[in-house]
Structure 1
């Protein structure tokens, strides 16, 4: 894999502002020492009404902008960050790989296994790496949990219980509730973050049985919402470890924070709970309740890992294979919810 020496700037192209995380990544990268940033969001320029996107958002963020993906890739980036709608990841990732750029891709990897595998294969063939944007992997709380599990402090790992709940994103990014672009609803949006942490704790082991139930009770009166808004996923792994994930759009719009992820690890010798977004102070601001995070900037920590890998030419984690494994769990859960049956994998 090609390394970028410290003697020159790393050229990073941010492809699409469709995902709201792009609004955090862009200013971080623009101010990052030793990084040159170029952005593009051609679909956003023609999106019409809705959240600010395209050149208008680039101007507001104060970042360099071009009108097409082709121009951004012709610039010769060392790396790209893909923040498009989930169903459009494949085209952008494979184009970036063909241009010789390393890739940081928003989650989930894709909406189908075929697309996900094509992305992994394209990056491997081009000799570039593919990293998944799973920032919670970089939280100090998770690192502490992982060290305890690896050291055997908890004994045999019996069960993992995760939650990833938040506000429905229909107002800010309505494509999240369009199954054709997003792949699904709350299950597709939220399960993967917890699944990534579980993948790391279990060294890439995959579930042998998956059961899921979903509903659309929440936000049932909103005609824009065409996907599940509540989901519960259960899985069993070889060796007997069980997993449960509550992944619902259950926080009201008036909540002071977007949501939060938690994970409990239950072992034969102990229990550890982590709440990476739990450190905060509350108060009032602007006529409403304020929620100010005190936790580590996980986007910055993730980007730091990605950029270090670009400079060194070393494969970062979590990689595309992790993306495929977490996608398989989500797709198995979708299938179980649709059929009412347990999905078994040998």
Structure 2
């Protein structure tokens, strides 16, 4: 393609440096990273210097006013997703926003409205959709191998995995703990494979049992005295089509595995565990397990960025859409509301 996508990065933290910048650079001549901004401008300048990015700024508005961009990656804490995404969309940029979509349903809806008005893409960083396990299973599902998927389980559990960096334990900046951080990944994966059904009712519970006291940290030491999020969340979702989903998510819990990320599906023609991928069916009077072999070794992060770039250059809709983001946000915030009130929440 002759056109080169001019990209700006909002936020110079870990996800920008580990995922977005290196994978944009792997796109070669299709992409030029023009600018980066961060409220800690020295951090932005340091990242720019290390990666050959021409411009560094202290704010998204300053960046958008100073340079011409085609697309923007939003890599900030959750609290700033809305303002950064809308500013970029209003400037005529496509946006790839890290998960979750926002802090509230109203914010997610405002972002979707801005994308629609600007006629630009708004996509989200749900990289598990781009994993080979999910892509393979999606082909089986689309071919009817699982039939009607009526039950799912989404699991995102860490034994002692409270992040010892960033703002992951700060409710004001993140909106919550493991549910909105890692649980959202497996929730999105399950919803994507189920065809993103319309949620109807949710019931949730959250716990703060381990994060607010000293303990073993397998992901570094965290500030336990200022731990303001849940360390575990559990939830139940009923969809308008009658399907149900159970979710478990924890930064710290007394479980066997140090880290478990998985989705389990049950349909009337078959079921599946996604990580690792195994499909369960009844065929020819026998119960059979199907385990796909030789899945390609492709980075889901790399594919996520490549496909976003391709969407921006070709006009092909990204895999993750604003409407899906709103449904997901409704479930997350509904579960938090249910946990606070002790009542089921009708969405």
Q: Is residue 44 from structure 1 mapped to residue 36 from structure 2 by the alignment?
A: no
**Cα gap change, 1:155/1:333 in structure 2, threshold over 3 Å: closer, same or farther?**
same
User: Is the Cα contact below 8 Å between 2:24 and 2:306 reproduced in 1?
Assistant: no
Give the whole-Å Cα distance in 2 for the aligned partners of 1:295 and 1:249.
Answer: 28
Cα distance, 1:63 vs. partner? 4.0
Which segment is superposed worse, 94-103 or 34-43? 34-43
1:237-273 deviation digits (Å, cap 9, x = unpaired): 2333211111111389xx9x8x452111112232211
Aligned to 1:25: 20
Number of equivalences: 314
Give the whole-Å Cα distance in 1 for the aligned partners of 2:7 and 2:276.
Answer: 28
User: Is the Cα contact below 8 Å between 1:26 and 1:63 reproduced in 2?
Assistant: no
Q: In the alignment, which of 67, 71, 74 is matched to residue 57 of structure 2?
A: 67
**Cα gap change, 1:225/1:272 in structure 2, threshold over 3 Å: closer, same or farther?**
same
Cα distance, 1:308 vs. partner? 0.5
Cα distance, 1:316 vs. partner? 1.1
Q: In the alignment, which of 146, 165, 171 is matched to residue 172 of structure 1?
A: 165
Name stretches of at least 5 consecutive residues in structure 1 with no aligned partner. Answer: 1-5, 47-52, 279-293
Cα distance, 1:201 vs. partner? 2.6
Cα distance, 1:235 vs. partner? 1.0
Q: Is residue 55 from structure 1 mapped to residue 56 from structure 2 by the alignment?
A: no
Q: Is residue 212 from structure 1 mapped to residue 207 from structure 2 by the alignment?
A: no
**Cα gap change, 1:21/1:37 in structure 2, threshold over 3 Å: closer, same or farther?**
closer
Q: In the alignment, which of 329, 333, 336 is matched to residue 334 of structure 1?
A: 336
Q: Is residue 12 from structure 1 mapped to residue 7 from structure 2 by the alignment?
A: yes
User: Is the Cα contact below 8 Å between 1:190 and 1:247 reproduced in 2?
Assistant: yes
Which runs of 4 or more aligned residues in structure 1 lie more than 6 Å from their structure 2 counterparts after TM superposition? Answer: none
Q: Is residue 343 from structure 1 mapped to residue 324 from structure 2 by the alignment?
A: no
User: Matches of residues 243-322 of structure 1 in structure 2 within 5 Å?
Assistant: 243-250=245-252, 259-275=259-275, 295-322=297-324
Which segment is superposed worse, 211-220 or 30-39? 30-39
Task: Give the TM-score of the pair, scaled to structure 2.
Answer: 0.83
Aligned to 1:241: 243
User: Matches of residues 49-198 of structure 1 in structure 2 within 5 Å?
Assistant: 53-68=43-58, 69-73=60-64, 74-166=66-158, 168=161, 170-173=163-166, 175-198=167-190
Cα distance, 1:176 vs. partner? 1.6
Name stretches of at least 5 consecutive residues in structure 2 with no aligned partner. Answer: 214-223, 279-295
Cα distance, 1:72 vs. partner? 2.8
**Cα gap change, 1:251/1:184 in structure 2, threshold over 3 Å: closer, same or farther?**
same
Give the whole-Å Cα distance in 2 for the aligned partners of 1:114 and 1:156.
Answer: 32
**Cα gap change, 1:262/1:102 in structure 2, threshold over 3 Å: closer, same or farther?**
same
User: Is the Cα contact below 8 Å between 1:17 and 1:23 reproduced in 2?
Assistant: no
Cα distance, 1:229 vs. partner? 0.8
Q: Secondary structure at the match of 1:247?
A: strand
Give the whole-Å Cα distance in 2 for the aligned partners of 1:19 and 1:86.
Answer: 14
Give the whole-Å Cα distance in 2 for the aligned partners of 1:261 and 1:230.
Answer: 14
User: Is the Cα contact below 8 Å between 1:27 and 1:63 reproduced in 2?
Assistant: no
Q: Secondary structure at the match of 1:209?
A: strand
Cα distance, 1:144 vs. partner? 2.1
User: Is the Cα contact below 8 Å between 2:146 and 2:268 reproduced in 1?
Assistant: yes
Give the whole-Å Cα distance in 2 for the aligned partners of 1:180 and 1:15.
Answer: 19
Task: Give the TM-score of the pair, scaled to structure 1.
Answer: 0.83
